[in-house]
Amino acid sequence: MSMHRVLTTLGCALTAVLVTACSVGPPTEPARPATATAVRTHDGPVRGAAHDGYRTFEGIPYAAPPVGRLRWAPPRRAAPWSGVRDATRPASACPQPAGEVPGGSTDEDCLHLNVTTPEGAGPARPRPVIVWLHGGGFTTGAGSSYDTHRMATRGDVVVVTVNYRLGALGFLAHGGLPGSGTFGLADQQAALRWVRAEIGAFGGDAHNVTLAGESAGGYSVCAQLASPAAAGLFDRAIIESGPCTGRPDRPFAPSSVPLSTARAAGVDLAGKAGCGSARDVLACLRRVDVSRLLAAQGTDQQPAHTTPLLPGDPAAAIAAGRFHRVPVLLGNNHDEGNGWAAGIVQAGHPVTPDTWPDVVASFFPAPGQAKEIVREYPVQRTDGGPVFGAVIGDADFACPTARTDGLLAAHVPVWRYEFADEHAPPLGSGTPPFPLGAPHASELPYLFDLGGRPRDLTTAQHRLANTMIDYWTRFARTSDPNGPSSPPWSRQTVLSLAPDHIVPTRTAPPRHHCAFWNALG
């Protein structure tokens, strides 16, 4: 196997692991909470759970199960139910290999969402709503992995987390198949329509909805900004480590692909699933077991553009100013690439002065690029891993985020951050080959309890977590993260720690080589 194939495969697999490594494994079973008062939706009443200061409603269907003829069909409305539906436990995650979800999932009846409301929220005094789209490389993840009660209670907001179709079941493209390459994005829009119609009964303000996500979830927000079908479905956007200008030739960050490319991948999938020579390929694929489809799909999944839902590449649409005019909060982590670099080194691919040119050439094969990158990012005898991490972080995240910021800011208010706590709790087990700093997804435990487990944060980190939640939720309330009790957020704020206080800076230090990447193209 070529170096490029080895490293790309490792990188794509690590995407899902790094995003939610600290949520792997079943959470400790809590004491069963008291039931909450039933809430009536248009499909029927649901009864959730009452906790100290908040209520949860889990596993609410927002669309019909995408099974049988509805596999690879646009989402349909969920069937109404009689009686009170139990909403005290999450529903199944969408089909995916083992990882974040212990043992994986093969249950296609997965189009559900979860609602967390602060105590006192009700139709008479509606709260702002944050709809969270999980990451996981469009291949893994679940809304139920994110315990959002700290955000809901401290920020006094209603938070909704969403399952959407993943992998080949979410993004298959095939000639003559309506919705090709975008079924997962269509699910997200169906969930947003549910929120507009139903969230008022849970105490949410249906006219104040912020769409937020991280990694693939952040890129999903970009796609929805550029999708004509998402017009009017949300009022603000939060994009974490999912820059809208991602490119398929930078494989660590999420991106979209042309429909022609997605269809070629669909032909490959059909062949691997045993349907390539069938008279009716789609009918054959709809009969294939989920586990076989998961085994046949690639590790790298992307939505398709040049489609009705996504007419153009989000990067091109945003560059041309063709996106929904809503305020945006976006950012990245200072050391985004270090987790992938560390994993690749630990998998037996050391980065040394001798191997460094080949590693770079595997990701930047255009003539002359590798030599320029090696000169800009030289590897000394012992620092190969962090240098590789810096290249991934700058090329795939920091500099594309800066470009996204500039393109969006020409039309709408934009607030940009960099998460830079170099002592962020590790997301995975084991000892990395070098200090990871603030890698991809390391900001998530400051906003959520992942997998139902609070992270072991220091006093200063708890203070940073509270400040971040204040920033995020004030933005959701007013389009401005600033408030009387937090350090002022300037044009760009760096979220980092001094010994026991937060340090926002008016001008970020020149940490990244963006002038170099802009010139390189």
Point out the residues that are catalytic: 215, 336, 440
Q: Are 200 and 206 in contact (CB under 8 A)?
A: yes
Q: Give the C-alpha distances (Å, rounded to integers) separating 45 from 48, 114, 268.
A: 10, 14, 44
- CA pair distance 281, 270, nearest whole angstrom: 7
What letter represents residue 517's amino acid? W
Give DSSP secondary structure letters for 18-80. HHHGGG-SPPP-PPPPEEPPPEEETTEEEE-EEETTEEEEEEEESS----GGGTTS---PPPP
* Alpha helices per DSSP H over 206-310: 216-226, 259-272, 281-287, 290-296
Q: What is the number of other CB atoms lying within 10 angstroms of the CB of residue 415?
A: 23
49: alpha, beta or left? (left if phi > 0; alpha if psi -120 to 50): beta
| Half-sphere exposure in the Cβ direction for 14 (13 Å, CA) | 26
* Alpha helices per DSSP H over 324-447: 338-346, 356-363, 369-376, 384-393, 399-409, 444-447
| φ/ψ (deg, to 5) at 143 | -60, -35
